[in-house]
């Protein structure tokens, strides 16, 4: 019980700093990718802040592992945390977690389940799409035969990919760019599933409510 | 109660004029985009009618805000209305609302829930697709490197985008055209969700009815 | 009652001839489109058989209208029949109806609801895809700038469209070809909805059965 | 009963050897397609191992047919097995079956229904995507006008196809490559259905649990 208490306290205290570090990481990464003309000293500063933010996540991961007292079973039980520590690109996924925690602190969530699913899916998609655009743009820039000349092209490509439209006017041509792209496609597939699934279950709910109303209360009446 | 009554009366009275204004706005916009050879005087008339229609929506928005007595809370509570006042392109979304109101006035809706969802999704999609085609065509026309030479090309692009097929033979190349396109893609994603979700929940209904019938009436029999 | 009896008898008797006519129409259309080198006399024979098949549908439509005694209300109540009489391309949709009738004649349908939905969606999609490929190939053949050189290209395009993949390596470029293509896209959207919806509701069923089994019978046990 | 017992024993005993043969077949096929510079003797060895693996499946199919005592009704009742014996490319589908059997042997499945559906869909998709990439790459390599120059291109194409994104920068151009591609598209459609359907039904479950909790237990309380 003491273990659990210490773990919960640690998570409550590190919540806000980690969320800030997460956003700082993304902003620093964006600056490093987009502001090519930056003087060397500033670029070094950016990189330093980025690694600092990363270090914070690694330390947090280590402390929570220690506090959990689970030994090696901690890694498979915290898949998302592990992936996020290894791949700084997926850092935005943590923001969703923070958002959830903030909601919980304010008592009952005010949004309905469907609105929350749509909100999570939307926030995750926007942040991941932005991060992937940065990463792919960084890989593709200057590659021979690429059509991705500006960051706007990268964003346009990310939108077409996430909605599974896939025009194909701008596509990654480097091997590493394509690997990131495949990750984004899967994310798009999941987004589609979330939107469709939410709509489908919301509709079923509305319908059963409506048929209840018509029957004068339905199953609860007899 | 008096406030609510005055608000309801206002909405009932402005319903038809606003629906007409909405269609007039779309038609005037279409004329302005497509009829390039029109003499200047006629073009000015079109623009004047357009701004008049817009003014009607702004006035309606203001009056309803006033009558609601909600102060600043009115804006987040009427998201769709606010967006529609700011972005004249999304005006068609209001048509759905009117359609709903007309249905309600004729007593019980005659269509089932699934048919209504499909009908709303269809009407919204057709109107939004048409409006976005106009807007994108207006942006892309004459842009260097564009494949969108005629309004037919723009319509063809809009259809391929809304169904998430995305051939990519005709794509927007200007920044503003692409921003509108991203909006249309999201609309396509929602349309897909509506169609799939409706089908899914309709199927579940049919199935539960069928299994009820086989069991000799099911819950209503005991 | 007599009216209904005569109508039912008419439908039972015309079922098989109309199904045969439907397939003959599609085959004749395919011959006319694909066998360009055919001598004039044979082409005329094909056209004659096609029109004869069409005439059968028109006569059947007229007789059923007469027997229904519904007057003008017959047209909106038989939307699919009306569309099929006007657009010979959509004739394959009737095959599904025949399939249903044959199943019913053999007593209880042996397939489950999900299998039937998948089977109908599959048969309709294959027949419509084939008919649309023929029609689009007929329009596109020889159009300036087209990539659709053989009927194989048209079939490849139809598959990529129906699954909403939309590569865009082969696309219709003529106005009439594109109109048919938009119809096929919508069909693909509906197919996606049918597949996803069936899967979703089947899964929900399996799950509720499984949770019933674990609870030792669930709601029916108490 | 004896028949069933002998059949079950046969299936239990052949499970592991067939799974190994299935993976060996895929690996040998990959070597044959990708290692073009291999000396003739090694290539012959690969082919021999492949045919041996295939032979094992044919023998297994024959023995099970014999043991079932079903005569010709065995073929329609074991569609997947029949297809897998005829098309070695679809061999990976058997891996899923083995995975299921292994799970069952360890008592109750530890994963929830949704996790299992996602896991099956994921494993099947990865294996089928890999097998189809190999087959299409084998067909397309060296075809005039192809953009599929390396196996990496083939994998990239398979990913874009399975997620129904379909950029169209790399597409099969040969007839046989396109036939395989159509199969992969359908697989992508099914994958989309599985992801969307799982999400949709999971959401419905969560929602009904949540509303039960709010109502203080719901239907099980009275």
Cβ neighbors of B66 (< 8 A, separation 6 or more) are none
Q: Do you know the residue count of chain B?
A: 222
What φ, ψ does residue B164 adopt, rounded to 5°? 55, 25
For residue B166, the chain C residue with the least C-alpha distance is C166
- B130 SS3 class: helix
Q: What is the pLDDT of residues A120-164, one digit of tens each?
A: 788 888 888 999 999 999 999 889 989 899 999 999 999 999 999
Which of A165, A169, A194, A196 should we substitute to test contact with C (largest number of C Cβ atoms within 10 Å)? A196
Q: Do residues B15 and B97 make contact, with C-beta atoms less than 8 angstroms apart?
A: no
Which of A117-126, B38-47, B108-117, D182-191 bottoms out in mean pLDDT, i.e. has the lowest?
Answer: B108-117
Which of A20-24, B139-143, B202-206, D1-5 bottoms out in mean pLDDT, i.e. has the lowest?
Answer: D1-5
Q: Do you know the residue count of chain D?
A: 222
Collect all residues of chain D within an 8 Å Cβ-Cβ radius of residue A162.
none
Collect all residues of chain C within an 8 Å Cβ-Cβ radius of residue B166.
166, 168
A75 and A117 share one domain? no
Chosen domain end from D57, D72, D94 = D94
Collect all residues of chain C within an 8 Å Cβ-Cβ radius of residue B122.
none
Q: Cα B153 vs. chain centroid, distance in angstroms? A: 21
Q: What is the pLDDT of residues B143-176, one digit of tens each?
A: 998 989 999 999 999 999 999 999 999 999 999 9
B189 with A156: Cβ contact below 8 A: no
Give B4-30 as a DSSP string.
HHHHHHHHHHHHHHHHHHHHHHHHHHH
Pick from D171, D188, D200: CB nearest C200:
D200
Q: Which residue has the higher pLDDT, D181 or A96?
A: D181
pLDDT of residue B110 exceeding 70, the answer is no
Q: How many CB atoms lie within 10 A of CB D73?
A: 10
Nearest to C208 by CA among C198, C194, C199, C219: C219
Q: What is the pLDDT of residues A62-77, one digit of tens each?
A: 898 888 877 788 887 7
Give how far Cα A155 sits from Cα of A106, A133, A159, Å. Answer: 35, 6, 6
The position carrying tokens 């999570």 is A120
Q: Do residues A158 and A41 make contact, with C-beta atoms less than 8 angstroms apart?
A: no
Collect all residues of chain D within an 8 Å Cβ-Cβ radius of residue B196.
196
C113 and C207 share one domain? yes
The residue-averaged pLDDT of B196-211 equals: 72
B123 and B150 share one domain? yes
- Give me the CATH number covering residue C139: 1.10.287.70
C54 and C121 share one domain? no
Cβ neighbors of C166 (< 8 A, separation 6 or more) are A165, A166, B160, B164, B165, B166, B167, B168, C160, D166, D168
D182 with C159: Cβ contact below 8 A: yes
C109 and C215 share one domain? yes
Q: What is the pLDDT of residues B69-88, one digit of tens each?
A: 777 888 877 777 788 778 76
Q: How confident is the model at residue B125 (pLDDT cuts 50, 70, 90)?
A: confident
- Please state, in angstroms and rounded to a whole number, the distance separating the CA atoms of residues D86 and A17: 59
pLDDT of residue B23 exceeding 50, the answer is yes
Domain count for chain A, please give it: 2
The position carrying tokens 């056209």 is C47
pLDDT of residue D220: 39
Q: What is the pLDDT of residues D15-70, one digit of tens each?
A: 778 878 888 888 888 998 898 888 888 889 999 998 898 898 889 888 988 888 77
Neighbours of chain A (3+ CB pairs under 8 A): B, C, D
Provide residues of C within 8 Å CB-CB of chain B. Answer: 113-114, 117, 161, 164-168, 171, 175, 178, 182, 185-186, 188-190, 192-194, 196-198, 200-201, 204-205
A111 and A203 share one domain? yes
- Please state, in angstroms and rounded to a whole number, the distance separating the CA atoms of residues B44 and B38: 10
The domain of C41 spans 1-94
pLDDT of residue D217: 43
The residue-averaged pLDDT of A48-55 equals: 90
D37 and D141 share one domain? no
Q: Cα B32 vs. chain centroid, distance in angstroms? A: 20
Q: Cα C160 vs. chain centroid, distance in angstroms? A: 18
B85 and B141 share one domain? no
pLDDT of residue B133: 93
Q: Tell me what percent of the residues of chain D surpass a pLDDT of 90.
A: 23
- A16 SS3 class: helix
Chosen domain end from D39, D74, D94 = D94
pLDDT of residue D216 exceeding 60, the answer is no
Neighbours of chain D (3+ CB pairs under 8 A): A, B, C
A184 and A221 share one domain? yes
Collect all residues of chain B within an 8 Å Cβ-Cβ radius of residue A166.
166, 168
D84 and D144 share one domain? no
Chosen domain end from B60, B94, B128 = B94
Give how far Cα C95 sits from Cα of B110, B143, C24, C77, C98, Å. Answer: 30, 48, 12, 20, 5
pLDDT of residue D212 exceeding 50, the answer is yes
pLDDT of residue C193 exceeding 90, the answer is no
D127 and D85 share one domain? no
D113 and D82 share one domain? no
Nearest to C64 by CA among C53, C52, C75: C75
Looking at every residue in chain C, the average pLDDT score rounds to: 80
Q: Helix C40-68 vs helix C79-86: angle between axes, to the nearest 10 degrees?
A: 160
Q: Do you know the residue count of chain A?
A: 222
Pick from A114, A182, A193: CB nearest D196:
A193
- Please state, in angstroms and rounded to a whole number, the distance separating the CA atoms of residues C129 and C148: 16
């Amino acid at each position: 019980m003491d273990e659990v208490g210490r773990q919960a306290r640690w998570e409550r205290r590190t919540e806000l700093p980690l969320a800030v570090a997460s956003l700082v990481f993304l902003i620093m990464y964006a600056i490093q990718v987009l502001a090519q003309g930056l003087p060397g000293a500033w670029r070094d500063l950016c990189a330093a802040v980025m690694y600092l933010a990363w270090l914070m996540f690694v330390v947090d991961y280590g402390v929570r592992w220690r506090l959990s007292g689970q030994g090696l079973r901690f890694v498979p039980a915290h898949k998302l945390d592990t992936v996020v520590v290894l791949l700084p690109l997926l850092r935005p996924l943590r923001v969703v977690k923070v958002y959830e925690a903030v909601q919980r602190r304010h008592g009952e969530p005010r949004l309905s389940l469907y609105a929350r699913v749509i909100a999570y899916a939307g926030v995750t998609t926007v942040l991941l799409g932005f991060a992937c655009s940065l990463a792919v743009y960084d890989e593709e820039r200057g590659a021979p035969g690429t059509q991705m000349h500006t960051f706007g092209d990268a964003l346009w490509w990310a939108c077409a990919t996430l909605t599974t439209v896939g025009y194909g006017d701008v596509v990654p041509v480097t091997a590493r760019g394509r690997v990131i792209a495949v990750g984004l496609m899967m994310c798009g597939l999941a987004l589609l599933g979330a939107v469709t699934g939410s709509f489908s279950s919301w509709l079923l709910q509305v319908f059963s409510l409506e048929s209840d109303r018509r029957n004068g209360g339905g199953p609860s009446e007899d």
